[in-house]
Structure formats: C-alpha cells, structure tokens
Amino acid sequence: MSRNSKPRILFVTDDCRISTGFSRVAKEIIKYLLKTDKYEIFQHAWFSQNPQCEMPIKIYPTKKHPTQGFLADDVYGKHSFTDVALEVRPDLVFALGNSFMIESTVTSTLRDTYRLLHYTPIDHFHPSESWNKVLGKCDALYLFCPWAKEVAERNIPGITVAGVVSHGIDTDIFKPLPKDARARLKALLGIPEDAFVVGFIGRNLERKRLDQIIMTVSHLRNGTYTVRKNGSCIPFAF
C-alpha cells in the first residue's frame, strides 16, 4: 500500500446486495466503513443473483456456468478467489462464513500478501479439529458469541480466538407483533388461538437445528410440541 492510498479491504461472503444473514452483516459493516471514507472496499461475492439493492463498491461474483447457474466447484470461490485477490491487491481480507466456505482465503497462493480476518459462526457442539486448518491460519479470528468461543477452544486444539463480536439484530424490525395482530394472523392461517408459534428467519439447514429450537421452546412453554405436516397437525410428547 502506498503512503497516499487508502487501505484496501476485500470482503469474502454472500453478496451484500442479497437477503441472507451473512450478506446483511457484510452490508452493514461495509456501509459503516464507507462512511468513514478511510478505506477502499471490494467484495468477492457468493450467490450473486437477483440483487435487492445497489452498493457503491466493486463486486466480483464467483464463477457461473453460461446456462446452469453457479459452478459447483466455485460456489465459495475455490477457483476464483486468487484471481480476485490478484486484481484487488487487498491489504486486508475480511472473510465471513463457516470454515469450509472461507477455505480459499488461506489456501490462496497470495496468502502472504494480505492480512486475514475470519468472522465465523460456530453453530454445533462438535466442530471438527480440521477447522484449525482454516481458522488457525488467519491473522485474527472473531466469533459471534461467548458460547461459540467456549465451544471452539474446547474442541479445536491450538485455536486462538482474538475476540467475540455480536452483530445483534435491529429490534425496530425484529420484535413481537402486538397481541391482536398475532390473533388475526393465527385466524387467517387456521392456527388454534392458544397455539405457540415459532417464527424462524433463515435457511432450513440441518446444522441450524430448527427442530431443536421448536422442540425446546415449545417444551418450555407447553410441555409438548406439534409438527404441521401435509396440512395436518401431529402432536408429539417428550
């Protein structure tokens, strides 16, 4: 970096113009950094399709097939990251994702040309020791919460966690509906008035254990839980 130029930061995660958890976090961080006018910001973006907004930065999508969407081998930039880093020449790479998603940031032949920060979720109890091959190769590792730090340090030998940063939520948007609104929606959807309803925003992936969220919260509330399948309700008892 020349003395008169701004530090160049390359974000590696879901495209900041789409609607996913990672993209939202990246978008808010990028917007804040842009306001400071201290950095040049770029992104190597996963799942760049149907953007819901525009961002005033240069975005490099992962590789796509001419007719069949994203290339399976490059969904997380395995083959395109080094090309992007070669063009951007970042001072810092900020990688947001699970260890297998951000592996390209440590295996790149340009790894010694940039500092590397990983901001990583740990959302199951037994992260593999192999995670250290990725998370242990960054210059600074930050996790989402104290629980994740505890789990990582207990299960990944030699891991060093620089800190915990909770990105939180916008409570002006994510908040309980008024009681009368909940009653109207239950009636509209044919849900019994006394039913306990769990709202979940996210992909229904096995590792997110949505089933455990429903079972645990409903058990605390009612002692049982119900699964709606093919239009009918099936009660389960613990």
pLDDT tens for 16-48 read: 999 888 999 999 999 999 999 999 999 999 999
3-state helix, strand, coil in the chain (%, to 5): 35, 20, 45
Confidence of residue 50 (pLDDT cuts 50, 70, 90): confident
CA 227 from chain centre, in angstroms, equals 27
Q: Among 81, 86, 85, which residue's Cα sits nearest to residue 63?
A: 81
Q: Is the pLDDT of residue 229 over 70?
A: no
Pair 62, 49: CB distance under 8 Å: no
- State the pLDDT at residue 238: 36
Residues in the chain, overall count: 238
- 3-class DSSP assignment, residue 9: strand
Six token digits for residue 107: 């295996």
Confidence of residue 120 (pLDDT cuts 50, 70, 90): very high
* Residue range 114-139: mean pLDDT, rounded: 87
More confident residue, 209 or 38: 38
Q: Is the pLDDT of residue 2 over 50?
A: no
- State the pLDDT at residue 228: 57
Mean pLDDT of the chain: 86
More confident residue, 211 or 15: 15
> For the CA atoms of the chain, what is the radius of gyration?
21
The enclosing H or E element of 135 equals helix 132-135
Report the 3 state secondary structure along 79-113: CCHHHHHHHHCCCEEEEECCCCCCCHHHHCCCHHH
